[in-house]
Structure 1
Amino acid sequence: MVGTASNAGLRRKAKIARDEQEARAMSPLRALRLATEKTADASFSLVLSVQGIERALVDHAGLLKMVPDGVLLLLLDGPDGAVGVMTLDAATLAALIEMQTVGQVLARPLRERPLTRTDAAMAAPLVDGILHRMSQHLLDHPDAYWTCGYRYGAMIDDRRSLGMALGAPDFHVFRLPLDIADGLRSGEVMLALPQRLAPSVTTNGTDAGEISAQLQERVLDAPVRLDAILCRLSLPLSDFGRLAVGDVLPLPSDALREIAIEAAGRQLVATGRLGKVDGMRALRLTNPDHRLTPVGSPDLSAQAAPPRSAKGPSSAVITPQAPNDYSPETRPDHDLKRPDATGSFGAAADDLQPYAFNDGPAAA
C-alpha cells in the first residue's frame, strides 16, 4: 500500500513538471493530452493520466502495421471527407465501461472477449470529448487545418476493413500511454489523422481569397481615362504644314451624332452624341452595352449606323461604329477655311448645333 501511494505521488510530481513545461506554448501534443485527461474526468469521473505522447508521420501501410490486435477501432469523420481513426485497448475500454456501470475501476484481471457495437457506443463520449476539446485548444494554432473538425463516426471490425476505409496516403499518428485510476491499470489510446495540404496563406496569415477580393477592389477603384472622339481627319502634309491659328477644319455632318467613346489603346467602349444639359456640354451614350472593340476593325467600319429619332437615341440595338477616319481619297474637301470679317465661320457651322437633352431636340 505504501509503495502504491509513493508511486502515485511520483506520478503527480511528474505531471506537475510536465504541465509547467508545456504551459509555455500550446501544441497538438499538449492539446491532445489536456483533452484526454479532461474528458475522462468530466464525462466518466475517471482519473486518467497521459504518461507521454509519441508522435510520428507514417504512410498508409505503416499505420496499419502500428494497429495492434484486440483493440477497438473507431473511424473519425473529418472536414472535406477526411477520415481518421482512434483505437482503444482493452484496459482503457474496460475502465470506461466499469465507470459507467459500477462507478469504479475494478482491480481484477481482464478477460478476452469479442468487441461489439455496444462497446463503441459506450466509448463514443470519450472520443467526441477528446476531439472537441483538442479542436478548441488549437483553433488559432497553425496546425488547426489538420487537427480540428473531427468527430466519432463508426466502429470498424478489423484491420483489413480499416485499410479500405482510410484513403489518405500519410497520417499523423499519436500514441498515448495511459495511467488509469492512479496506477490501478495501464492502457493506451492511438489517434491517427490524415496529413492534409496546408491552405494557401500569405506571410501575414491572410487567406488567398481575401487577397483576391482586396486586389479586385483596388483595381476597380483605379481611374480610367475615356476620350470622346468627334472624328479623325487625314490631311496632306502640305496642308498640315500651313495650319495656323483661326483655320477651320471641316467636320462631317454627323460628327455630333457619331462620337466614339474610347479607352486606352483606342478600344471602343460606347458611342454617343454631343449635346447640352443645363447649359453645359454633355454626351449622351447611345450604345454602352457591348464588348471592347479595337477602333477601326473591318467588321465595324463597314456597318452603317441605324436611324435615330430626333427625340433621343434609338431603342434598337445599335452596332458601334468606328469614328470617321478619312483618308486623302475619301475625305471631304479639306481646304482650310478662315473666319470672315465678322468673325463667323459661315452657314456650315450651323449644321453642327448640339442637341439640348433637356430642352428639346435642338438648341436654339
Structure 2
Amino acid sequence: MAGIAPAGDAAAQADAPLPGLDRALAEAMVRVAAGAGLDAMVERQSCARAPRDTALAGLPGHALILPLRAPPGEWAGAVVLDPSLTDALVEIGTLGRAERTARKARPPTRIDASFARPFAAQVLAGAEGRHGTARYPAPDPGRHVADMRALALEVEAPSLVVAELALALGAERAGTLRLVLPDRPRAALPGPAVPEGSAKASRSEPEPDRARETLLRAHVRLEATLPPLSIPLARLTALRVGDTVPLPLGALGGLRLAAGRLGGGHGGPRGEGALRARLGQQDGMRAAKLQGARPAAAPAAEGAAAPGGALPDLGDAAAAPPARVARPPATAPQAARPEAAAPPAAGLPALADLDDMADLSDLKAM
C-alpha cells in the first residue's frame, strides 16, 4: 500500500527555506508510485538549507543524479535517487514488480536514467501548486551525472536547499528521493570585488573552464604499438595460432604509445606526436618505459644522417637497425612452414629465439 507520513510540526514547516515543498513532493510521490505499481510509503520528509559542500557530501553513494532543465549558464537543480529506489524503478519497468530486497549498490547507467527520469518528472509535475509549491522543470532528457565530483563542478551556489523523502518500499526495502535546488539564482551570486574606475568594472570576469575540467576526467584509450615489419606474403598467409614471428633488431626500444588522434585519427599521419617507449617488464608484468615524444614533423628516411652529420639518436636500439633490402621478384609463391622465419638479409646477424620474453630486463625508475 502507498501512504504518507504526518505533516509534522507546523512551526518547522514555516521555518523551512521553501515551506510546503517536502509535503507537496510527498503527496505527489504517493500518487505517482501508486500509478506505477510501486509499493511506496513516505516515512519521513524534510526540507533544509545547507552549505554546498555539506549538502553534496550527504548524498548517497552511487546515487542517480538527474539534472533539471535549465537555461544556458544556469543550474536549476537535480533529482537524486538512491540505488535502492533506482533499482526498484528499473525492476518495475522490466519485471513488472519490485523485488522484496534491494541489490548491492552499483554505479548508475544511462539505462537506469531512462527508467527513472519519467518517474521523477511526474513527481515534480504532481507537486506543482500543492502547498504553494512553484513549478519546477522536468529532468533534462539527455543528461545524467555520473558522480558527486562531476555534480560539484556544475553547482556554484554557496548553499543548497535539499528536500528529502525517506521511503519504505515494502516490508524489507527502503529508498530515498531528494530534490536539490540552489538557494538563489546565479545572477544573485556575489561577483569578484572590482575597484571602482577599473577597466574590468564594465565587463564580467571570465567563467572558469568547467567543461575542460570535466573533459580531463574522461578516460581515453592508450595504444602500445611495436614498429612495423615486412615479411613475405607466403609467410603471412601461412601464419597460424601459436606461430612465432621474429621481431627486428631494436624493436623493443621502438614501442609507440598513442591515444586518440595521436594514434592515427583524422588529424594527421599515424603516430604523429606519439610517445616513444621501450618494452620490458616490471614485477613480473610487461611494462613500457617512456623515452620521449616523437617529433611532429614527418620522420626522415631510415638510415639518413641527422643535420650536421651526426647520427640520429637510436636510444636502446641495436647498433644495426633493420633495413629494407630490395629482393628480386619471386617467380612462384614460396611455401613457408609456420615455424620457419624468413631468412635474414645479407650483412645482418641472425635473430636469437625469444623464450617467452624471459630475457627482458626489469625497467628502472618507472
Higher helix share: 1
| TM-score, with length taken from structure 1 | 0.44
